[in-house]
Structure 1
Amino acid sequence: MRYWLMKSEPDDCSIDDLAAMPEQTVAWYGVRNYQARNFMMNQMAVGDRVLFYHASCPEPGIAGIAQVASPAYPDATQFDSSSRFFDPKCRPEQPRWFNVDVRFVRKTRLIGLPELRDTPELANMRVLARGNRLSITPVDPDEWRFITETMLELKTDEL
């Protein structure tokens, strides 16, 4: 099992929105960075755990836990000319962009960006690296355990 941090703008899809969706799943669409796309295509697997991160908002931070619910498949928004994620160079027979489905596990207290930055055990987290703008980053198993067990005080069976 691998662990990920996936950023979502709460105005687009918050952890509460995910919890309220049918089957509590959402397509993680709109990723337009090759490295993040490659994480989904080549490394993510059904059942991987996700730190659901609210980004581009007044209080960015980890807002919940989710899990990868599908293998990667072509992102339909790349072909939709009315979508802000439309890519005129993409063709259905040769998709460029992919997404996975993500399933709600639980909402957590918000672990804000300042708290993450002030935690020495998380100093090497990729999301905290200067200049990092990736919407999907891997999370080290030790970082995952520290966040879930120490900061959120969750037990493995709650995840």
Structure 2
Amino acid sequence: MAKWLVKTEPSECSIDDFTKAANQTIPWDGVRNYQARNFLTDMAEGDEVFIYHSSCKHIGIAGIVKVVRSAYPDPTQFDPDSPYHDPKSTPDKPRWQAVDMAYLQKLPRLLPLDEIKTLAGLDDLPLIKRGNRLSVMPVTDDQWQILLGSV
């Protein structure tokens, strides 16, 4: 199983939204960056994912979810009323992917970005690399263990 980190604005979809949907899934859609889309395509059922709250007062890793449905065409790309609509995308040639995720756990505390940056062994973590703005990124097993061991 692979490990991942996805960034989200809590006002859009937070770890608390996952806790409210504990017996349901939440589609991870609306990703409109090609590299992030490629990472979504690489996700498989059972993969674990850190939920990272961004663009908010308290930035950091808030919880863990799992992939329960691997990549499929993102339905928002076909919806003209969606902010994620892509008129160049067609059902025959979809450009964007989504995955479904379900709640696993809320971390005992938010692991803030400032603290993540100080942890040894995370130099190659895409989240802390300068200029990286991807909303979906891989996390190695070692990085995962370092991050989990810090909460």
Band of TM-score, shorter chain: over 0.9
Q: Which residue of 1 aligns with 2:53?
A: 54
Once the two structures are TM-superposed, the CA of residue 101 in structure 1 deviates from its matched residue by: 0.5
Q: Is 1:131 aligned to residue 126 of structure 2?
A: no
Letter in 2 for 1:12: E
Change in CA separation of 1:87 and 1:64 when aligned onto 2, cut-off 3 Å: same
TM-score computed with the length of structure 2 as normaliser? 0.95
Q: What letter is aligned with 2:13?
A: C
Residues of 1 paired with 2:63 and 2:22: CA distance?
A: 18
* Larger helix percent: 1
Give the SS at the match of 1:121: coil
Quick check: 2:22–2:103 contact (8 Å CA) kept in 1?
Answer: no
Pairing 1:93-104 to 2, within 5 Å after superposition:
93-104=92-103
Letter of the aligned partner of 2:32 in structure 1?
R
Structure 1: distance between partners of 2:9 and 2:23: 21
Q: More strand per residue: 1 or 2?
A: 2
Residue 56 of structure 1 deviates from its aligned partner by 1.1
Q: TM-score, normalised by structure 1?
A: 0.90
Unaligned stretches of 5+ in structure 1? 153-159
Q: Distance in 1 between matches of 2:55 and 2:84?
A: 17
Identity %: 49
Q: CA RMSD in A?
A: 1.1
The 5-angstrom pairing of residues 1-159 of structure 1 reads 1-21=1-21, 23-41=23-41, 43-108=42-107, 109-148=109-148, 150-152=149-151
Letter of the aligned partner of 2:5 in structure 1?
Answer: L
SS at match of 1:18: helix
CA distance in 1, matches of 2:116, 2:7: 15
Quote the offset at 1:22 in angstroms. Answer: 6.2
Unaligned runs of 5+ in 2: none
d(CA) in 1 for partners of 2:31, 2:12: 13
Give SS of 2:146's match: helix
Name the CA distance, whole Å, in 1 between partners of 2:3 and 2:9.
Answer: 20
User: Structure 1 residues 106 and 112 mapped into 2: Cα distance closer, same or farther (>3 Å)?
Assistant: same
- Which amino acid is the alignment partner of residue 48 of structure 2? R
Divergent runs of 4+, >3 A? none
Q: Deviations over 1:80-118 (max 9, x none)?
A: 111110111111121110110011100011001101011
